């Protein structure tokens, strides 16, 4: 009796197992319901990416033509200055002494000129009345020209001294901001030595370089998109200058992109910021998929595909740029293949899918 009960339990277990396996097999055969789309190449504007540095469109390095000790520095980095403001003063005792000598020379030449001019006018009248000889008139005329030339020479020397004094008192060439200081009080300045760096705020440009193979793709007034990551801003730009030679920049040509920021962007952009420049020329065939379908596993990037056997397959790809919610696929898929856009159950390689 005991053996009969055991036999009945074994038969029931086998039947239950058989039914369960049949149900799982039906589920597997049915597959996971998914939605899919077909890979298609589309024609998009071809983008070229470059890097560059933001700089002010108007910038100057202030220097002097004199040799002397720096006596005063009236500004610091970050100070705003107006056109004509005194920035640096260089000791100019020698020039001041020379100025005094020139003034004395002008006074002497002026006195001599006034005396000769009076005599010239007097003798000219007498000569007209035939009361002075031709030689007397010629002599005073020559003397008048000489003293007049000496007076003009003395005045010219004063203009030279005034010019030298301008380089002893360095003033701002325009409204701007002091961005760097190269000397301190007591330093010895020499002709051509940089003292300060100034730039005009508000107007910025990007200095970039393009390879010679792409030199002829661009022209002045072409539009550009400039991304400044440090401030998380994308700014409109336009090409303002393309260097005609790469003699001093290696195998690349310098290109300037003038920025057209709005009021908020202009207030946060600064010289020296790193920029990514994007220019468009012509079209290219690209494959793009919605960025939310991209799967990242460690350093690998993939997308769920539907195989010809209607099975889910993780395909590893090489992604390109991402724009407007779509990611470019550079390699890993072909036109005509299907990729999964929506699924309700967890996917794994080889699972059957049913495309709705």
- pLDDT above 70 as % of the chain: 90
- Class of the CATH-defined domain 49-57+200-283: mainly beta
Task: Name the most confidently modeled range: 9-23, 24-38, 124-138.
Answer: 124-138
279-298 residue pLDDT tens:
988 888 888 899 999 999 99
pLDDT at 123: 82
Cα dihedral 123→127→132→133 (10° resolution):
120
pLDDT at 10: 52
CATH fold for the domain made of 32-44+285-355? 2.40.420
b/e per residue 29-51 (b: at least 16 CB within 10 A): eebbebebeebeeeeeeebbebe
- pLDDT above 90 as % of the chain: 33
58-95 residue pLDDT tens:
989 998 888 888 888 999 998 999 998 999 988 876 67
The residues, any chain, with a CB within 8 Å of residue 189's CB and separated by 6 or more, are 64, 66, 67, 68, 69, 70, 90, 183, 195
- Degrees to nearest 5, angle at CA 249 with 246 and 251: 60
pLDDT at 9: 46
Architecture of the structural domain at 59-197: Beta Barrel (2.40)
Q: Six-digit token pair at 353?
A: 């899918």
pLDDT at 135: 84
Residue 257 confidence (pLDDT) above 90: yes
End-to-end CA distance of the chain: 56
Q: What is the pTM of this model?
A: 0.61
- E strands present in 39-125: 41-56, 59-63, 68-73, 80-81, 86-90
pLDDT band at 303; cut points 50, 70, 90: very high
The residues, any chain, with a CB within 8 Å of residue 276's CB and separated by 6 or more, are 49, 50, 51, 52, 226, 227, 229
Residue 194 confidence (pLDDT) above 50: yes
Q: SS3 of 330, please?
A: strand
Sequence ranges of the domains in the chain: 32-44+285-355, 49-57+200-283, 59-197
Residue 272 confidence (pLDDT) above 70: yes
Average pLDDT over residues 20-37: 63
pLDDT at 1: 44
Average pLDDT over residues 103-126: 84
Residue 313 confidence (pLDDT) above 80: yes
Residue 227 confidence (pLDDT) above 80: yes
């Amino acid at each position: 009796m005991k053996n009969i009960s055991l036999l009945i339990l074994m038969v029931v277990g086998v039947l239950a197992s058989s039914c369960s396996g049949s149900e799982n097999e039906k589920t597997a055969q049915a597959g996971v319901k998914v939605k899919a789309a077909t890979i298609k190449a589309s024609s998009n504007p071809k983008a070229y990416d470059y890097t560059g540095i933001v700089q002010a469109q108007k910038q100057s390095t202030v220097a002097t033509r004199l040799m002397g000790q720096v006596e005063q520095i009236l500004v610091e980095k970050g100070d705003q200055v107006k056109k004509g403001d005194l920035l640096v003063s260089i000791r100019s005792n020698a020039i001041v002494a020379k100025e005094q000598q020139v003034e004395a020379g002008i006074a002497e030449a002026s006195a001599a000129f006034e005396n000769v001019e009076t005599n010239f006018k007097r003798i000219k009248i007498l000569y007209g009345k035939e009361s002075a000889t031709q030689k007397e008139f010629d002599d005073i005329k020559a003397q008048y020209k000489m003293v007049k030339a000496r007076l003009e020479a003395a005045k010219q020397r004063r203009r030279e001294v005034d010019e030298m004094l301008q380089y002893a008192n360095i003033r701002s060439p325009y409204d701007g901001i002091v961005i760097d200081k190269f000397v301190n009080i007591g330093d010895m300045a020499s002709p051509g030595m940089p003292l300060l760096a100034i730039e005009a705020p508000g107007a910025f440009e990007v200095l970039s370089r393009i390879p010679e193979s792409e030199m002829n793709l661009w022209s002045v007034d072409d539009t550009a998109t400039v991304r400044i990551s440090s401030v998380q801003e994308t700014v409109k730009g336009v090409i303002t200058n393309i260097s005609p030679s790469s003699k001093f920049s290696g195998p690349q040509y310098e290109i300037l992109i003038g920025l057209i920021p709005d009021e908020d962007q202009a207030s946060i952009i600064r010289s020296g910021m790193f920029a990514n420049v994007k220019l468009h020329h012509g079209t290219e065939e690209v494959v793009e998929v919605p960025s939310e379908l991209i799967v990242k596993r460690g350093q690998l990037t993939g997308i769920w595909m539907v195989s010809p056997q209607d099975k889910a397959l993780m395909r590893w790809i090489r992604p390109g740029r991402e724009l407007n919610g779509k990611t470019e696929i550079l390699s890993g898929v072909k036109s005509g293949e299907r990729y999964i856009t929506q699924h309700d159950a967890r996917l794994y390689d080889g699972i059957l899918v049913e495309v709705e």
